Chains A and B, each alone.
Chain A
């Protein structure tokens, strides 16, 4: 029976190949598009976890987002005192592991005759490194003593180090930042950029040093808080709210003049976005698979009409209904199996290339699923033409011209 089916397909090679191509494209696009969706979700997850999953960022401004006029002027900026309150109120804030106030500014760095403007200059406490998941690859972190002593030391991001030193070892060298000389004590490990801003294009220095040289001793831009663990971020968040409402003398929590964002919430938001993205891609691919299936029905109907006379002969020779049915079903299933097999190969081969900057990650279930659905489509869409062939009356089939 398989031999007859192969023969039947071989009789119309171009037609069979085109029909198979329909299924091939369907299966390959299901696998590939789901892989792209999955790949982007994996990439987002990686970039977010690289920021540190148990870190919380407190920034000033109304959480309601609608502070206007007089209310806006009443917003109290975050200060180093707020950070100290969070850090020292250990009893109230059991879920908080460490606190780092952050000021961010920009300026030009000079080394010898090389001048370069890093993406940002960050003034903070040593706790920042752990909280922001910034590791020193070479050299050392600056210490609490450096902060207390307002020492002019700096840790460079990988990109900044490369721009300023071009292969030279930066540790121990002196650079000039905004007119103030700094000694480089360490270089951060490269994190790799995923967006428009390069997280490695940074200079990190002790908070008072940066305040002294650039921003003045006013409010800080952010307070980075590290929760005791990834699970306790929610608890840490409510503790931060309580402490800061106290220091800012606000009684109504809905009128809080600060905002807390956690990487976990960012992660959830991004994950649901990429999930929608993946589902959309999958739906488009599924439609093309369906179209491929309709292609099979179409071609099998043509084949049945073309071979009506042959069906008549077979019936006259005593072919039972089941044999005719089986023959055409085998043919359509063979089309879909071959098409799906090639589609799987094409999909997996295609997933080795990165598409619009996303490295596709093949979901094994999608391969099995797409293959299975394609074969089922062959059976389902082939059954109508096959049934039509099997129920032809022999006399009508033999008379067919």
Chain B
């Protein structure tokens, strides 16, 4: 698969920030081009995921290709780009959810806590206990609020007082006050925004250290969206968050790092393959991106 020759590409780098970004090469790893002013976090940023040359295939069709990036702990990392670029496909690689699709195949490595998630020895069920996910459309179970939250801890065999676990999760999701008097009512009776916060609480109940969010606000009204964004900013102190979003303003508001995806057509224009054009500190992506395609997207010229 050929690329046009005039892309300015950062080098495949070690974890030293500030390395020369101008040398083009294949299989580039993204690192921020400079430390942002006043925020020492990048220099000290620890990785939670080291993604190495990940490609996802559905049968013969390559949906995303050659993704290499380092996602940092206790940050919000946003994945943006037009529809169909493989953002959702990619985020589902981080918790082995692509396993659910029979024809899907993942190449490359996703290193988490020194283990490659795609190693043969790794149990996807264990992976999902540590890496939680919230989906685009809220999907509460047809059970009570209490049982929704308690489901995860129960099935993974968490020890402890269930009442406390449920309360703690609901508090972390800023939902406790609204629900403490109706824990036994059916979750389907909640509004859309509340249901999504319930799904966040449910994901937090199993005490993961990562929360993956696949367009969590796209089915919600602006007020609920705002509440969830506030929630995310609170959560990032204790969790690492990766969020796919169509909403550029949202990415600019909440995220620390942003990856911009785009899609290429193959020569016969039959297959669309997504890949990452640029991955950098959010400020830079939105004010002074390296790649013209990124600039066109964030300034609204297309997408």
A binds B: no
